[in-house]
Amino acid sequence: MTPQFGSVDGRKGQTGAYKDKSKPGDIRSSNINAAKAVADAIRTSLGPRGMDKMIQTGNGEVTITNDGATILKQISVTHPAAKMLVELSKAQDIEAGDGTTSVVVVAGSLLEAAEKLLQRGIHPTIISDAFQHAAVKSVEILAGMSRPIELADKESLIKIASTALSSKVVSQQSSLLAPLAVEAVLKVIDPARDRNVDLKDIRVIKKLGGTIEDTELVDGLVFTQKSANVSGPRRVEKAKIGLIQFCISPPKTDMDHNVIVSDYAAMDRVLKEERAYILNIVKQIKKSGCNVLLIQKSILRDALSDLAIHFLDKVKVMVVKDIEREDIEFITKTLGCRPIASLDHFLPEHLANAELVEEVQTGSSKFVKVTGIQNPGRTVTVLLRGSNKLVLEEADRSLHDALCVVRCLVKQRALIAGGGAPETELGLKLAQYAQTITGVDAYCFRAFANALEVIPSTLAENAGLNPIATVTELRNRHAQGDITAGINVRKGAITNILEENVVQPLLVSTSAITLASETVRSILKIDDISCPVSVKSDDWVVGGVEDRQTSACEFLVQVKSEIMPDIVEYLRDPHLVARIQKYYGVEVVCPLNSSNGNVERSLLHRDGVVQLKARPEKKPVIGISSHYSSSKSKCILNGKEPNGWVSAEPEEDETLSSESEPESKGYVINNWGWYYLFVLGTALGDEIFYASFIPFWFWNIDGAVGRRVVLVWTVIMYIGQGIKDIVRWPRPSCPPAVRLQKKWALEYGMPSTHAMVGVSIPLSVILYTMNRYQYSVILGILFAIGWCSVICLSRLYLGMHSVLDIVVGIVLALALMVPVVPLVDALDHYLLTSHWSPAILLTVAICLVVFYPSSDRWTPTRVTEVSHLISMPVECSPTAVRAMLSLSPVYSSASQLVLSAETFVFLNHCAHAGVVAISEKKNT
């Protein structure tokens, strides 16, 4: 497991240093694991047989590549140590242009070796210094292995460029792209004097269409735009080219001025002036001898108006417009001219000369090509072709790597063998050198040497070879003095890699080892992370260190540790309930005494004002709960007060009492329409409604649906009520919320069983009737949503539940419907086929009541569950009903079993009274 970070100064999210001194090792381990995750992610892309990665961006664009720098640039990495490896790949790309995957893989292997040394108790500073010494020694060894090369040896340069292209998607076209890259670099430098190459002098133009074999090196200019002429020339020989940075269109007024035209004559004058203005510019251009005009793109107005195009067509001037500002420098360097900023400077001496300017069509696209430039600069243009965008983009990246490899040879004119040969030789020489030194540094040197062998091991693994056997044989060959022995992945054997023309620039290897060791040293010396207020330390504990998916797992950690608790606290806030009540017209007119649900209060109203008053002593409630009696606000069961019970009276539902004594404390209901709607809504979630009306209605319409709905209702209610007494989250405090209902006030609040029933009952009705009756399912779903919404909002309006109670109830009900529906189907089939089903159902119901979870205080939940569970066998067992009432059987299809509501309630109450004593005897 990834170690967790300590707190920052004891306060969550504040800036500071870690006080827990045992954490530096954990932080260092976390950084190492995060960096190793990045290395492992691109390790499979190393070598000619490496795999490609498909990367999809947020806007849907897809990239297919095995270039390490491109992969790391486009993936999302948030761990700071992982970002260091991304920056390492960028640095290698800038310095050498190749080896971007190798440098990250080497860094990951060095970190793994360092982790093992740390576990042995070696101090990170000692490891860091030893790795730096080993890197310097490695550069010396590589320089001794290298062979000098001259830039005049084009054949060797092409071999090196081909090696760089061998691992790319376009490796099959390396015979074309490698010579092209070498030729392009040699054209922009002086081999005898230059020690670097500015790749900006090599412009790559990508044109969709054709194949990569159609790629060509143009000794001149290529514009992505087509000619702007309508009827003008498309091909100009002996061209005189002018590059202008001003517009050939009517000038516009600034934002503070307007041109007011009052009549047609004034309009004609304006048009004539514009025409004369443009005509004057065109005449000046033609007078200078210019026959090809390049116009820079303007953001203020049109660079070229339609009238100007018309005049330029007339004078036979070819026009290319909308040239980007960043291309101006390359164009002027290529043409050997200066850009013209105003008409006054449009003179013949400022024009460039070329043998041919023509518009070329390839497939459906057109572009302008300039060749035969007189006095050209040291620039070239590569016209890259491809059959689709993915191939074209990858060919561009591959060509860039080939150009960078040749540039490395210009900067350091030496090459070494490839195929894992230099890394194997380094491992051998460093291990031998480690024997000449003593102390802890010797262990570090050997670890550094072994870590470098990750390159040949990965090459063999990606090529489908046995990495252990291959690396072992490679070591033996190098131990015998064959320093050019390397892995030939195409032949699947170890050969003289120089004879196979698998070579690479010395700068690529030395840069990779130097940069990788510097990055590893930086990571090893980090022992603490201080985060700003907006970034908390726990965020850097990345699940992706273990799962190799850093971004997604970090987000989950953040949601779990930060976002989710805040959401829960917000949804539980009673002030949110109070705001909802106020929105629907419940206004507090005086402060309310705090109530936790255990103090008896009755609600009354006079002239629209609903008030709170203390409840006087009441006589025992007669009816289904007649076994209770009240005495001085004490709850008495069978003549004694149970231990641990809160003194309270069970009450009937008194949403509004009929008493009318005036009271100074209270609140105002400003909208009685909402009040009556939500009182009705909460009644729709009451067990009296579902235990009486719904079964009675379904029994007289469709017995199959009725039985199943009652079973769903019973299971959902039992689970919901049980969770209430296990979780024991209170209802919203009053104040700030106003409790408009007393029934169930002594129950806990989480989850809302009204919400659970409001979801499960309509949904089960739709599921069980959609294939039996012809009606619109969409209308049924809308009705279910409306039904559920009214019930849920009613519980918030009456102050009985928090928003979190409602949300959890809805989610829990939806989750339970998945297993409950098939379970109910199986149970219903058993009820219809077994003669023992009434007895079994009654036994199960009694057992569930007896073993119902005990609460820390008395609540009416157990009594409510007795009603639910005893209703189930009475309502759902057609065999029991037929035996007791001598009625016709209830079949699974629709049947007309006429059962009066009075008879049904009588049966329900009889069963309830017979079991309630057992359930509360257990709770006593």
Catalytic residue among 26, 201, 401, 828: 401
Residue among 904, 901, 899, 912 at smallest CA distance from 845: 912
Residue 96: partners with Cβ closer than 8 Å, 6 or more residues away: 404, 405, 408, 505, 507, 508, 511, 512
Residue among 451, 410, 377 at smallest CA distance from 201: 377
**Which residue type does 700 have?**
N
**Which residue type does 338 have?**
R
What is the number of alpha carbons within 13 Å of residue 854 lying toward its C-beta?
11
CA-atom Rg of the chain in angstroms: 42
Catalytic residue among 2, 100, 484, 682: 100
Beta bridge partners of 634: 631
Catalytic residue among 2, 44, 63, 67: 67
Residue 531: partners with Cβ closer than 8 Å, 6 or more residues away: 8, 13, 15, 537, 539, 540
**Structure-block tokens of residue 740:** 């408009």
Sign of the C-alpha dihedral computed for residues 412, 417, 419 and 421 taken in this order: negative
401 is catalytic: yes
Residue among 658, 690, 684 at smallest CA distance from 798: 684
Helix or strand holding residue 679 (H, E)? helix 672-683
Question: ∠ at Cα 146 (140, 152), nearest 5°?
Answer: 135
CB atoms within 10 A of CB 579: 13
Residue among 472, 507, 591 at smallest CA distance from 146: 507
Residue among 650, 717, 655, 713 at smallest CA distance from 680: 655
**Which residue type does 536 have?**
K
Inter-axis angle of helices 574-583 and 777-797, to 10 degrees? 110
SS3 for 91-153 is: HHHHHCCCCHHHHHHHHHHHHHHHHHHHHCCCCHHHHHHHHHHHHHHHHHHHHHHCEECCCCC
268 is catalytic: no
Alpha-carbon span 98 to 639, nearest angstrom: 90
- How far is Cα of residue 571 from the mean position of the Cα atoms in its chain? 25
Residue 147: partners with Cβ closer than 8 Å, 6 or more residues away: 414, 415, 416
In Å, how far are 4, 12, 559, 563 from 533, measured between CA atoms?
Answer: 18, 9, 17, 15
**Structure-block tokens of residue 880:** 């029991």
3-state secondary structure of 285: helix
**Structure-block tokens of residue 907:** 């049966």
Residue 676: partners with Cβ closer than 8 Å, 6 or more residues away: none
DSSP characters over 553-583 = HHHHHHIIIIIHHHHHHHHH-HHHHHHHHHH
SS3 for 371-434 is: EEECCCCCCEEEEEEECCHHHHHHHHHHHHHHHHHHHHHHHCCEEEECCCHHHHHHHHHHHHHH
Alpha-carbon span 734 to 678, nearest angstrom: 19
438 is catalytic: no
**Structure-block tokens of residue 538:** 């726990």
Q: Burial level of 721, CB count in 10 A (0-12/13-18/19+)?
A: buried
100 is catalytic: yes
Helix or strand holding residue 760 (H, E)? helix 753-769
- Report whether 863 contacts 625 (CB < 8 A): yes
Catalytic positions: 67, 100-101, 401
